[in-house]
Amino acid sequence: MKLLKIAAAAALAAAVLPTSPLHTAAADTDDMPVLKADVNGDYIINSQDMVLLNKFLLGSGELTAEQAERADFDSDGVIDTFDLLGMRRSFVRNATTVPQGTWIGESSEGMRFCWFNKGREGSFADLAENTSAAFSMSKWGDSIDFTLSSGDELSSTIAWLDDEHFYLKWSDSAPELFTHKSDVPYYNGPSVAGEYVSDAGKTYKLSGYTGTSGGEDFLVLPMGTQAQFIYSDGTAKTGDFSRTDKYHFTLRWEDGTAESFTRREITVKDGITYVNGILIANKTYALPSTYAPGGLTAEFNTAFAKMQAAAKADGRKLEICSGYRSYSYQSQLYNNYVARDGKAAADTYSARPGHSEHQTGLAADINYASDYFNTTPEAKWLAENCYKYGFIIRYPKGKEDITGYKYEGWHVRYLGEELAKLVYDSGLTLEEYLCIDSKYSY
Query: Pairing relation of β-strands 408-414 and 363-366?
Result: antiparallel
Sheet with 391-395, side-by-side order of all strands: 320-322, 363-366, 408-414, 391-395
Closer of 52 and 364 to Zn ion (Cβ): 364
**Rounded to the nearest whole angstrom, what is the least distance from the CB of residue 287 to Zn ion in the complex?**
15
Closer of 71 and 379 to Zn ion (Cβ): 379
Give the alpha-carbon dihedral of 425, 428, 431, 436, to 10 degrees: -100
Do residues 410 and 368 lie in contact, with contact meaning Cβ atoms separated by under 8 Å? yes
Closer of 116 and 334 to Zn ion (Cβ): 334
- List 106, 357, 408, 431, catalytic entry: 408
The helix/strand/coil state of 418 is: helix
Q: Is 216 a catalytic residue?
A: no
Closer of 12 and 281 to Zn ion (Cβ): 281
**Rounded to the nearest whole angstrom, what is the least distance from the CB of residue 369 to Zn ion in the complex?**
6
**Rounded to the nearest whole angstrom, what is the least distance from the CB of residue 344 to Zn ion in the complex?**
19
Q: Which residues bind Zn ion (CB under 5 A)?
A: 365, 411
Which residue, judged by CB position, is nearest to Zn ion in the bound state? 411
Closer of 70 and 355 to Zn ion (Cβ): 355
Residues 6+ apart with CB under 8 A from 102: 113, 114, 115, 116, 180, 181, 182, 183, 184, 185, 186, 187, 221, 223
Rounded to whole angstroms, the Cα distance separating 261 from 259 reads: 6
**Rounded to the nearest whole angstrom, what is the least distance from the CB of residue 373 to Zn ion in the complex?**
11
Cβ neighbours around 334 below 10 Å, total: 20
**Rounded to the nearest whole angstrom, what is the least distance from the CB of residue 371 to Zn ion in the complex?**
13
How would DSSP label each residue in 241-291?
A: EEEEETTEEEEEETTS-EEEEEE--EEEETTEEEETTEE--SSSSPPPTT-
Rounded to whole angstroms, the Cα distance separating 68 from 430 reads: 68
Going by C-alpha positions, the residue among 337, 317, 38 that lies closest to residue 159 is: 38
Residues forming the active site: 408
